[in-house]
Amino acid sequence: MNPTKGCLVSLLQFLLLQVCLSRDTLSANESLADGDILVSSGQRITLGFFSPGNSSKRYVGIWFSNSSVSVQTVVWVANRDNPINDTSGVLSIDSHGYLVLFANNQTIPLWSTNLTVPSTSNSMAQLLDIANLVLVRQDTKVVTWQSFDHPTNNLLPYSKIGIDYRTGLNRILTSWKSQDDPGTGDWSLKYEPEGSPEMVLYKGQVRLWRSGPWDGDKWNGVPQMSRNTLFNASLVNNNEETTFTWGLINSSIFSIMFVDESGFLIRATWINNQWVKLYTAPEEPCDNYGRCGAFGICNPYTAAGVFICSCVPGFQPKNPNDWNVLRDGTGGCFRNPGALTCRNGEEFVKIANAKVPDTSVAIVDMSLDLKACRLNCLGNCSCMAYALANESSGVGCTAWYGDLVDTRVFTDGGLDLFVRVDAATFGRQRHPELVEDNSSALVRFGDSSNDEFDDSLPSIDVNAIISATKNFSLDNKLGQGGFGSVYKGQLASGQEIAVKRLSKTSRQGTEEFKNEVKLMSKLQHKNLVRLYGCCVHREEKMLVYEFLPNRSLDFFIFDRTRRSLLDWKKRFEIIMGIARGLLYLHQDSRLKIIHRDLKPSNVLLDAAMNPKISDFGMAKIFGDDQTEANTERVVGTYGYMSPEYALEGLYSIKSDVFSYGVLMLEIISGRKNNDYHNEGPSRNLIGHVWELWRKGTALDIADTLLGQTYPPHEVQKCIQVGLLCVQEDPVERPTMSAIVFMLGNETTLPPPSKPAFILKKKQSNLDSSTTRSASSINDASITNIEAR
């Protein structure tokens, strides 16, 4: 026999075998025995027989192909409550066109598609790449049944949960009994259509958690949904159906939402060869349904020792002992005795960032705006509260006509909930007790009319700030920086703000503070945080900024889970946005500004993850002809300061360029410059990147969480620009205008020269808690640094 011909025959047989094994359809004259599989056309999804966990029982299921997700993850089970005890199972299409499962030559199927109307003998089953098994009439191509309509514990991308009013089909997710048993478990996720539709997690008939209503962009009780770049979601609520579905922005990603065996709703994504949880519900005490009872508000951000439950204004606990001693708020609240709430001068008190109450007692009118909603509610004595129905469009009215149950607050996200109160309560709410954030003593600000203040500065009244921040409540505290604390607030107009309250021991004096405000009031750019105004009152100095919900850049890029949400496209947009903001400061604004403290914590992110440079406490104004300045007081953050500034006190626009280069390399790698540890000659991230660049392997620094989804040439270009920015000689560093051009265009880049601060650290006494320190870097001593 010709060996070449034999090889060709063998190869042909092998290819035919592969085609057979990889079939994605099951026709009427075919069957699928235990050991056979169907594989979707894109090789992403597999259907076959499996045994879960340590069980020996056999089930027909669908899972992600092992070539895509190495851990077998079953997303649908046919015979979940009727397992097969051996390998005799056979899946086929019967004479009526039903998909049926038999075992041990039985005459009654263990499972069937069981269509109400017979299909046809000319049916075909097909496994789709979206993990949907469909039964199709081959003559008309009409789908007569699909697994998406009969989910087990998973809501997969492009599938639905909810009710089809035309057929009466109600798609419900139900947990497995255990990891070894996919049978119908105790926990279920249902779509409740009453009032404003919500998803509700049950144990049996008991409510455990609810999603909150759809606000046009996300579930009101799941603010995390608006902070990702992986998913899009939509709601359909009309006479034909009330359903929720979600999809993937990047179709190459594997992601699931499921109810697990312990009663948690989990959304997870396959990243770096493992399932990474993006969020879990319920996750904290305030997520538990009715944690604070009727007319109670749950706040998980209270100070240590403070009960998480409080009553809505005008109400008090039904069982004070349960609240104060047992810390049990489920009994709820009742209206203050003697309070009149209808047609007696009552008004509405706003609860900001709220997960609004259970909407089963609510009525939605999409024809009303918020103003009309208020008037309607005020004119009906049974109306207890109202809120905007669709936040993204700014229209629609949701009004509650019963007990307000399961209300909680978030630090950001949520909706404004307006609760009806009597006139006396409303008056008290306008003048709350003023409590200092670090003690229980009462603080009362006097008349501010005698304050020395420059009328040319944008000024905000101290009482408005006190009211907006609830007297600088710990619940409103966002964080603390080098010059004081930052609080979230909401002005009477509804405008959300961030208030930087300078500490009384701050090194920033009143004149320096006023100069900073004058500077910031003249800057307007989409990549700079906007300053609304300031307040100087006796010894108090406060800056009022726009509030940005996604915190700072370091919150994302230095956290493995959150960093995984930033694909390369979003990281590049952040890199470009920061560059444009700096270009505006250096060149395009009316003033020439040197920031002097650019770092990830000083780059804030808005709701769309757009970057905004913040914290201009150390910024300096340059004259048009000025190129550099000198200071004996070096203030900045170790790891981001340029060598000429750290060692000699010289700063210029090139100092900011150096900081930008460090920041860019951190965004690309997901690593901190100062926290980099390596046994090689490098002492920091800059040095490590330089080593890889010289070896021709610079792409090795790219964050492993990016996988292979990034364009190598673009990442390589960003690394090279980053190295150009951190060159030791400031003259060799590019300007921000050159950087923006290089990043936005295909052009030949110059080769970088040796960066600064790249040798192995020999000795370090640098202490971030001191204002004078010394460190041996590049064999030179850094002194007189105010580290932050």
pLDDT in tens, 50-99: 999 999 999 999 999 988 898 999 999 999 999 999 999 999 998 888 89
Inside any domain, residue 535? yes
575-596 burial, b for 16+ CB within 10 Å, e for fewer?
bbbbbbbbbbbbeebeebbbbb
Question: Taking a C-beta distance cutoff of 8 angstroms, is the pair 37, 46 a contact?
Answer: yes
Q: What is the pLDDT of residue 628?
A: 62
Are 426 and 400 contained in the same domain?
Answer: yes
Q: What is the pLDDT of residue 782?
A: 32
Cis peptide before 282 (omega within 30 of 0): yes
**Catalytic, out of 597, 615, 656, 703:** 597
Tokens standing for 373?
């909603």
Q: What is the Cα–Cα distance from 468 to 489, expressed in whole angstroms?
A: 5
Is 500 annotated in a binding site? The answer is: yes
| Count, residues in the chain | 788
Q: Which residues of the chain have pLDDT under 50?
A: 1-20, 429-457, 679, 760-788
* Other residues' Cβ atoms within 10 Å of the Cβ of residue 61: 22
Going edge to edge, which strands form the sheet with 173-178?
173-178, 181-192, 198-203, 206-210
Are 567 and 492 contained in the same domain?
Answer: no
Q: What is the Cα–Cα distance from 761 to 751, expressed in whole angstroms?
A: 26
* Other residues' Cβ atoms within 10 Å of the Cβ of residue 303: 10
Local structure of 17: helix, strand or coil: helix
Are 679 and 726 contained in the same domain?
Answer: yes
Inside any domain, residue 275? no
Are 726 and 605 contained in the same domain?
Answer: yes
Q: What is the pLDDT of residue 116?
A: 54
Inside any domain, residue 223? no
Inside any domain, residue 377? yes
Are 328 and 357 contained in the same domain?
Answer: yes
Are 625 and 729 contained in the same domain?
Answer: yes
Q: Look up the domain containing 615 and give its range.
A: 553-787
In the residue annotation, 597 being an active-site residue is answered as yes
Inside any domain, residue 102? yes
Q: What is the Cα–Cα distance from 722 to 268, expressed in whole angstroms?
A: 33
Local structure of 12: helix, strand or coil: helix
Q: What is the Cα–Cα distance from 314 to 345, expressed in whole angstroms?
A: 14
Q: What is the Cα–Cα distance from 639 to 642, expressed in whole angstroms?
A: 8
Q: What is the Cα–Cα distance from 773 to 753, expressed in whole angstroms?
A: 29
Is beta strand 592-594 parallel, antiparallel or unpaired with respect to 111-112?
unpaired
Inside any domain, residue 332? yes
Map tokens 């200092």 to a residue.
436
Are 418 and 300 contained in the same domain?
Answer: yes
Q: What is the pLDDT of residue 449?
A: 34
The number of folded domains in the chain is 4
Are 481 and 606 contained in the same domain?
Answer: no
Inside any domain, residue 67? yes
CATH for 620: 1.10.510.10
Q: Which of 146, 164, 190 is the last residue of a domain?
A: 146
Q: What is the pLDDT of residue 718?
A: 96
Q: Which of 50, 54, 102, 43 shows the shortest CA–CA distance to 74?
A: 50
Inside any domain, residue 9? no
Q: What is the pLDDT of residue 453?
A: 39
Are 726 and 598 contained in the same domain?
Answer: yes
Q: What is the Cα–Cα distance from 509 to 617, expressed in whole angstroms?
A: 11
Are 508 and 566 contained in the same domain?
Answer: no
Are 568 and 506 contained in the same domain?
Answer: no
Dump pLDDT digits (tens) for 214-253: 988 889 998 877 655 677 888 898 889 999 998 888 888 8
DSSP label of 608: T
Q: Which of 146, 168, 187 is the last residue of a domain?
A: 146
Q: Which of 146, 180, 210 is the last residue of a domain?
A: 146
Q: What is the pLDDT of residue 225?
A: 72
Are 403 and 475 contained in the same domain?
Answer: no
Q: What is the pLDDT of residue 118?
A: 52
Q: What is the pLDDT of residue 508?
A: 56
Checking 625-634 for CB contacts under 8 A at 24+ apart, the result is 626/592, 627/652, 628/652, 629/594, 632/784, 633/784, 633/786, 634/784, 634/785, 634/786
Map tokens 């009780």 to a residue.
221
CATH for 481: 3.30.200.20
Question: Taking a C-beta distance cutoff of 8 angstroms, is the pair 727, 721 a contact?
Answer: no
Question: Taking a C-beta distance cutoff of 8 angstroms, is the pair 11, 24 a contact?
Answer: no
Q: What is the pLDDT of residue 507?
A: 54
CATH for 142: 2.90.10.10
